[in-house]
Amino acid sequence: MIAIIVGILILPLIIVISILILLESKGGVIFSQKRIGLNKNEFVILKFRTMENQKITFIGNIIRRLGWDEIPQLINIIKGEMAFVGPRPLTSNDITRLGWDTKQYGKRWSVKPGITGLAQLSPICNSRLAMENDLFYVENKSLGLDLKIIFRSLLIPVLGKQTQ
């Protein structure tokens, strides 16, 4: 329900972004890709398209920096495939590449994946740290933690990623 309300409130932004993507490059507005979610079930994630010919477009760079490329994932939330907060959904190739396909990491897939999460707040891109953050979230999931993560995520476009 919250995702529907947010979608309606930001509809003008969605329309503007869609028009800018269409004016700047050829192709559709939405990028879709198979990802792994809750209980390792596969689903199709939606994002605004930010690339053309394997290069990030001018508009794509702006909306990525602001995190607006994730807006179409509100549809994934409405469909019950994702949550606002949780571990990021990965491709099956990413899971294999990272070595996260063993039983030891199974807890990570016991919650819905999210648009944002603790790993996305970290200024350091490190697979071990990302998994630690994801497991911490799974083990400590609460409304308070979700609200803290959402608040900090909304500040990223303004302040950048800060150290923990």
pLDDT tens-digit map of 36-57 = 999 999 999 999 999 999 999 9
Helix (H, G, I), strand (E, B) or coil at 42: strand
Residue 104 falls inside a structural domain: yes
Is pLDDT of 163 > 60?
Answer: no
DSSP 163: P
Residue 94 falls inside a structural domain: yes
Q: Which domain holds residue 133?
A: 2-159
Q: In this predicted structure, what is the pLDDT of residue 36? A: 96
d(CA 124, CA 121): 9
d(CA 82, CA 64): 19
pLDDT in tens, 118-155: 988 887 888 889 999 999 999 999 999 999 999 998 88
Residue 164 falls inside a structural domain: no
Residue 68 falls inside a structural domain: yes
Residue 134 falls inside a structural domain: yes
Residue 6 falls inside a structural domain: yes
DSSP 138: H
pLDDT band of residue 162 (cuts 50, 70, 90) is low
Is pLDDT of 164 > 50?
Answer: no
pLDDT band of residue 109 (cuts 50, 70, 90) is very high
Contact 57, 50 (CB under 8 A): yes
* Model confidence, pTM: 0.88
> Which is nearest to 17 in space by CA: 48, 46, 52?
48
Q: In this predicted structure, what is the pLDDT of residue 102? A: 85
In the predicted model, what is the mean pLDDT of residues 12-35?
A: 95
d(CA 50, CA 63): 8
Tally of domains in the chain: 1
